[in-house]
Chains A and B, each alone.
Chain A
Amino acid sequence: MTTVMIQEARARDTVGSFSQMPDAAAATVPSGESAQAALAFLAEMSPDLRGAAVLGPEGETLAVTSGESERWAEDAATLFAAADAAEDTAVEQVHIATEQGEVFAIRGEGLAAVAVTERFALASLLLFDLRSILRELAAGAR
């Protein structure tokens, strides 16, 4: 039934009008304030958190807990690029544990989040929280 309706709309050239609408991705970018509030909540929930950032669809920082936002954007892009290049496939989540700390990165809902924690942070909980943040930010922006 839906297919039939779409075909009818296309026949009437009404589908072409969608191309004049604002970019769908840009329309769903959450505000910096809501991203900052989400990070504040994450920091409250995760005692091991040292810093985090929420990134928009173009890789720009929407919010950071501390530090230079440009540096976060640049380093997060480098991390995702290295992760994607590992198997020539886009990754959904990254978890890297080093002697100095642990790094978590996640993509979802057209957004991305990166977090740095102390060693031995509970990975599944943190990834769950990051995923929830992205989902709620995206839902709030719609």
Chain B
Amino acid sequence: MQKPHRILLDRVSAYADEAAAFMRRRRVARKPFARLYYAGGRSADHAQDSTAGAELFVAAGRLIEVTGKKKGAKG
């Protein structure tokens, strides 16, 4: 029979593994998106290949350029 503290540690460890796996899946699966929010709480997504979406991504890209390379980037 396992000691009670071992059971607790295993449980916490399992939760941490689940959270890490969720973050890994999120990083892999999440695709670029452009989301606009309007008055009243309405929101609308615009795909990157739509006209509005393409303009939004270009504008966002220019702002990202202003801030320079991301932290930890080489070169």
Contacts and interface: CB of A to CB of B under 8 A. Distances in A.
Interface in A92-127: 92-101, 103, 114, 116, 118-120
B56 A82 contact: yes
Contact of A76 (B36, B58, B63): B63
Given A79-B56, A96-B56, A98-B57, A50 B68 contact: yes
A67 interface: yes
A66 interface: yes
Nearest to B48: A98
B32 interface: yes
Interface in A42-83: 50-51, 66-68, 71-72, 75-76, 78-79, 81-83
Contacts of B37: 91-95
B56 A97 contact: no
Interface residues of A, number: 36
A96 B53 CA distance: 9
A81 B26 CA distance: 31
Interface string B12-53: 000000000000001100101111111100001010000010
Contacts of B64: 50, 98, 100-101, 103, 116
Given A86-B46, A118-B71, 7 more contacts: A76-B63, A82-B58, A83-B59, A92-B39, A96-B57, A101-B67, A119-B27
22 contacts: A51-B66, A51-B68, A67-B66, A76-B63, A79-B59, A81-B59, A85-B52, A86-B55, A87-B36, A87-B44, A92-B37, A93-B36, A93-B37, A94-B37, A97-B34, A101-B67, A101-B70, A103-B63, A116-B63, A116-B66, A116-B67, A120-B30
